[in-house]
Structure 1
Amino acid sequence: MSGATLSLIVAIVGVGGTLASAVITQVLAQRAESQRLEREERVRLAEQRASEDQRKVDQLRDCYVQLNARDRHYRDAMLAYAYALKSGSAEAEATEVSSARRAQRDARAEAQLIASDAVLEIESRVNAQLTIAYRRLMEVAGEPDSSTREARLNQVIDLLDSIISQQGHVRALMRLEVRATEELPDWYNPEIGLPQHQLADH
C-alpha cells in the first residue's frame, strides 16, 4: 500500500471519527434532553394532581364547616326556643328556629353532593334527631296545658342535649377527611345515633 493511499485512509477514518463523534454527542444530548423533559412532565403532573387533590380537600373543608355550623346552630336555636317557651314569650326564638332550619337544610343539600358516604350516613342520624326535636317542639308550642307543656319541653331539651354527642362523632369523621387529624379518636363510634333495634342487629 502506497503512502498516499495510507494517508487517504487515515484521513477518511479521521473525518469519519469526527463525524461519528458529533452524531453520538448529538444523540446523547437529545436523549438527555428527552429524559429531562420527561422528568419535568412527571413533576408537572404530580404537582397538578396534588393541586387538584388540595382543591378537593379545601372544597370538602368548606362544606363540612358550613354543615357542622348549621347543624349546631339549628340545635342551639331549638334549645333556646324550648327554654323560652318554658319562661313565657318566645316569638324571637321561634323566628330564629325557622331561619336556622332553612340554613341547615341548604347546607345539607350542598353536602349531599360533596360529602363522603360515611359522613352523610352518620350526619343523617343527627338530622333525623333534629327533625324529631323540631316536630316535638312545634307540637309543644301549641300545647295549652302548662304542666303538660313543661314535661314535654323537658323531654325535647333532653333530646337536644343528647344530640351533642352525635355531633361530636360527625365532627371527628369530618376532621379526619379534611386531614385535620390523622386518626379517629378512641371514643369514636360509627354506630352512634342508630336506633336501638338496629344496634341489636350488629
Structure 2
Amino acid sequence: MSGAMLSVIIAVVGVGGTLASAVVTQVLAHRAELRRLKEERGIRLAEQQATADRHKIDQLQNCYVQLNAHDRHYRDVMLAFAYTLKSGSVEAETVEVNDARRAQRDTRAEAQLVASDEVLKLESRVNDRLTTAYRYLMKAAVESDSPARRARLNQVIDLLDSIIPQQGHIRELMRFEVGTTKTLPDWYSPEEAPATHNTQP
C-alpha cells in the first residue's frame, strides 16, 4: 500500500471518527437534556401536588374551625337560655338561639362536602343531641312555669352537658386530620361517644 493511499485511509478514519464523536456527543447531550426536562417536570408536578394538598388541608382546617366554633356556640347559647328560663326570667328571647342554630346548620352543610366520614359520623351524634335539646328548649320556652317545665329544662341542661366529652373527641380527630398532632391521644375513643338520642320529651 502506497503512502498516499495510507494517508487517505488515515484521513477518512480521522474524519469519520470526528463525525462519529460529534454525533455521539450530540446524542448524549440530547439525552441529558431530556433527563433534565423530565426532572424539572417531576419537580413542578410535585410542587403542584404539594400546593393542592396544602390547599385541601387549609380548606379542611377552616371548615373544622368553623364547625367546632359553631357547635360550641350553639350549645353555649342554648345552655344560657335554659338557665335563664329556669331562673324564671320573662325577658328571655329565642333570637340568639335561632341565630346560632342557623349558623351551625350552614356550617354543617359545608362540612358535609369537605369533612371526613369519621368526623361527620361523630359530629352527627353531637348534632342529634343539639337538635333534641333545641326541640325540648323551644317547648319549655312557651310553657308556663311549672314542675314539668323545670324538669324539661333540667333535661335540656343534662343533654347539653353530655355533649362536652364528645366534642373533645371530635376536636382531637380534627386536629389529627389537619396535621396539628401526629397521633390521637390515648384517651381518644369514638366508641365511647353518646349514642343517637331520640327520646321524646
TM-score, length-scaled by structure 2 = 0.93
Deviation at 1:77, TM superposition (A): 0.5
For residue 195 of structure 2, give the secondary structure of its aligned residue in structure 1: coil
List per-residue Cα deviations over 1:155-188 (Å, max 9, x = no partner). Answer: 2111111111111111111111111111111111
What is residue 189 of structure 1 aligned with on the other side?
A: 189
What is residue 17 of structure 2 aligned with on the other side?
A: 17
The sequence identity of aligned pairs, in percent, is 67
Deviation at 1:143, TM superposition (A): 2.2
What is residue 92 of structure 2 aligned with on the other side?
A: 91
For residue 91 of structure 1, give the secondary structure of its aligned residue in structure 2: coil
Assess if the C-alpha contact under 8 Å between 2:77 and 2:96 holds in 1.
Answer: yes
What is residue 50 of structure 1 aligned with on the other side?
A: 50
User: Hey, what's the Cα distance between the residues in 1 that align with 2:91 and 2:119?
Assistant: 34
What is residue 158 of structure 1 aligned with on the other side?
A: 158
User: Relative to 1, partners in 2 of residues 1:195 and 1:112: Cα closer, same or farther, differing over 3 Å?
Assistant: closer
Amino acid in the other structure paired with 2:90 = S
Give the total of aligned pairs.
195
Equivalent positions of 1:38-77 (< 5 A) are: 38-77=38-77
Unaligned runs of 5+ in 2: none
User: Hey, what's the Cα distance between the residues in 1 that align with 2:166 and 2:91?
Assistant: 27
List per-residue Cα deviations over 1:34-69 (Å, max 9, x = no partner). Answer: 111111111111111111111111111111111111
Structural RMSD (CA): 1.4
Assess if the C-alpha contact under 8 Å between 2:85 and 2:92 holds in 1.
Answer: no
Amino acid in the other structure paired with 2:46 = A
What is residue 146 of structure 2 aligned with on the other side?
A: 146
Unaligned runs of 5+ in 1: 197-202
Deviation at 1:193, TM superposition (A): 1.7
Deviation at 1:153, TM superposition (A): 1.4
User: Hey, what's the Cα distance between the residues in 2 that align with 1:90 and 1:134?
Assistant: 18
Amino acid in the other structure paired with 1:35 = R
Assess if the C-alpha contact under 8 Å between 1:86 and 1:153 holds in 2.
Answer: yes
Equivalent positions of 1:105-184 (< 5 A) are: 105-184=105-184
Assess if the C-alpha contact under 8 Å between 2:129 and 2:196 holds in 1.
Answer: no
Assess if the C-alpha contact under 8 Å between 1:70 and 1:103 holds in 2.
Answer: yes
List per-residue Cα deviations over 1:14-42 (Å, max 9, x = no partner). Answer: 11111111111111111111111111111
Assess if the C-alpha contact under 8 Å between 1:61 and 1:178 holds in 2.
Answer: yes
User: Relative to 1, partners in 2 of residues 1:61 and 1:78: Cα closer, same or farther, differing over 3 Å?
Assistant: same
Deviation at 1:195, TM superposition (A): 4.6
